[in-house]
C-alpha cells in the first residue's frame, strides 16, 4: 500500500500470524529500505528467539527494468534475503531468478488469465489474482470468473484480492478455490497505518458507492475514494479525459496526486480504527465463527 505500509504495521501483522508486506517505494530515500528491513528482521528474530511464533514478512516490488531505483531495491531485497517478494506490472523472470537464488518465494499480481500464464512461464511460485473491487490498481474481472478460469490450468498457490475485509470473506475465498487472501484497504484503517487521519476517517465513513474506478490519476485503472477527489477540487463523475500512456510516461502520479486516496469496494465493512494486532485477532474469530456456522448448515 503506497505511502501506507510501514515497519510497525508489518511487524504487528507478522506477530499476529499473517504475512506483512510493504511496497519498497515507501522507504525513502532508497537507502532507507535496508534500514526498514533490518528493523523488521531484528524484531521478528527476537520474537522467534523468545519462542514466539511469527509469520514471515515480504515486500512489494513494481518491475521497472533499467530503472536505477528498481535495480537498487532488488539488490537490497537479495542482500536481506526477504522471504517473500510480490511483483507487479512487468516480467518477473529476473526477480524470480534473483530471489530463488537465496531460497525466497515470488508471487505475481495478475488481473487476467493471460497475465497469469505469462507469470507462470516466468517461474513465479504463486499468483495473486487482483479482481474487481480491490483497492488501488485492480482488475475488472469478478473473482468468480477469474479464479475459476485460472484454476482450470493452474493448481498451485493462488491468493485472491478484491473487497476482502473480514474473516467470513477469507473463508468464502477459500471455498471458491483460493489458498490465501490479499487484504489491503482494511489495514489502512488501523492505528499503525501510515495514512493521515483524514484518510482513515474517510474509510470509516465510506461505502462501496463512494469508490470510483478510473485510470485518470496513474494511467492504470484503479479504485479511489470519491471524497478525496472532491477534496482535490475535481468532480469524480466528470473527470477530464486523459491519455493513459502519457500519464504513465510522465511518472508524476506520486507527487501531483498525493492526496487522491485509493480504497477497495469493501469499505462499507470498515467501521473503526483498531490496532493491527486487534484486527488480526478479529479476523481469526470471524473466520472460525463463519466456518462453524457452515459446518452446522452442511450437517
Instruction: Print pLDDT tens along the chain (299 aa).
Output: 777 899 999 999 999 999 999 999 999 999 999 999 999 999 999 999 999 999 999 999 999 888 899 999 999 999 999 999 999 989 999 999 999 999 999 999 999 999 999 999 999 999 999 999 999 889 999 999 999 999 999 999 999 999 999 999 999 999 999 999 999 999 999 999 999 999 999 999 999 999 999 988 888 889 999 999 999 999 999 987 766 666 656 654 444 567 899 999 999 999 999 999 999 999 999 999 999 999 999 88
Rounded CA-CA distance 292/171 in Å is 11
Could you tell me the strand order of the sheet in which 157-161 lies?
20-23, 57-62, 84-88, 105-110, 126-130, 157-161, 180-182
Rounded CA-CA distance 212/262 in Å is 9
Torsion of CA 185, 187, 189, 190, to 10 degrees: 180
- Residue identified by cell 463463519 is 290
Q: Which domains does the chain have, with CATH numbers?
A: 7-298 (3.20.20.70)
Q: For position 254, what pLDDT does the model report?
A: 47
> Please, is 60 exposed, middle or buried when counting C-beta atoms within 10 Å of its C-beta (0-12, 13-18, 19+)?
buried
Q: For position 298, what pLDDT does the model report?
A: 87
Q: For position 246, what pLDDT does the model report?
A: 65
Closest by CA to 22, choosing from 48, 68, 49, 57, is 57
Gap between the terminal Cα atoms of the chain = 41
Q: For position 258, what pLDDT does the model report?
A: 75
Look at strands 222-225 and 211-214 and give their pairing. antiparallel
Amino acid at each position: 500500500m503506497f505511502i501506507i505500509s510501514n515497519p510497525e504495521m508489518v511487524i504487528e501483522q507478522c506477530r499476529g500470524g499473517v504475512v506483512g508486506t510493504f511496497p519498497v517505494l515507501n522507504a525513502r530515500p532508497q537507502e532507507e529500505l535496508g534500514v526498514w528491513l533490518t528493523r523488521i528482521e531484528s524484531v521478528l528474530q527476537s520474537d522467534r528467539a523468545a519462542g514466539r511464533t511469527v509469520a514471515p514478512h515480504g515486500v512489494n516490488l513494481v518491475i521497472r527494468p533499467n530503472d536505477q531505483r528498481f535495480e537498487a531495491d532488488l539488490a537490497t531485497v537479495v542482500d536481506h534475503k526477504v522471504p517473500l517478494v510480490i511483483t507487479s506490472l512487468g516480467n518477473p523472470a529476473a526477480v524470480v531468478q534473483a530471489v530463488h537464488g537465496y531460497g525466497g518465494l515470488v508471487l505475481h499480481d495478475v488481473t487476467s488469465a493471460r497475465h497469469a500464464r505469462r507469470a507462470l512461464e516466468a517461474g513465479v511460485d504463486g499468483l495473486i489474482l487482483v479482481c474487481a473491487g480491490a483497492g488501488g490498481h485492480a482488475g475488472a474481472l469478478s473473482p468468480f470468473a477469474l479464479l475459476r478460469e485460472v484454476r482450470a490450468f493452474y493448481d498451485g498457490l493462488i491468493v485472491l484480492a478484491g473487497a476482502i475485509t473480514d474473516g467470513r470473506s477469507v473463508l468464502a475465498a477459500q471455498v471458491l478455490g483460493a489458498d490465501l487472501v490479499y487484504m489491503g484497504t482494511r489495514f489502512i484503517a488501523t492505528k499503525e497505518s501510515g495514512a493521515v487521519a483524514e484518510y482513515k476517517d474517510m474509510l470509516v465513513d465510506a461505502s462501496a458507492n463512494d469508490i470510483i474506478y478510473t485510470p485518470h490519476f496513474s494511467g492504470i485503472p484503479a479504485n479511489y475514494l470519491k471524497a478525496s477527489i472532491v477534496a482535490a477540487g475535481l468532480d469524480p463523475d466528470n473527470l477530464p479525459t486523459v491519455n493513459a500512456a502519457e500519464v504513465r510516461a510522465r511518472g508524476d502520479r506520486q507527487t501531483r496526486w498525493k492526496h487522491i486516496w485509493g480504497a477497495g469496494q469493501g469499505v462499507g465493512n470498515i467501521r473503526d480504527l483498531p490496532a493491527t494486532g486487534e484486527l488480526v485477532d478479529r479476523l481469526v474469530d470471524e473466520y472460525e465463527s463463519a466456518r462453524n456456522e457452515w459446518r452446522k448448515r452442511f450437517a
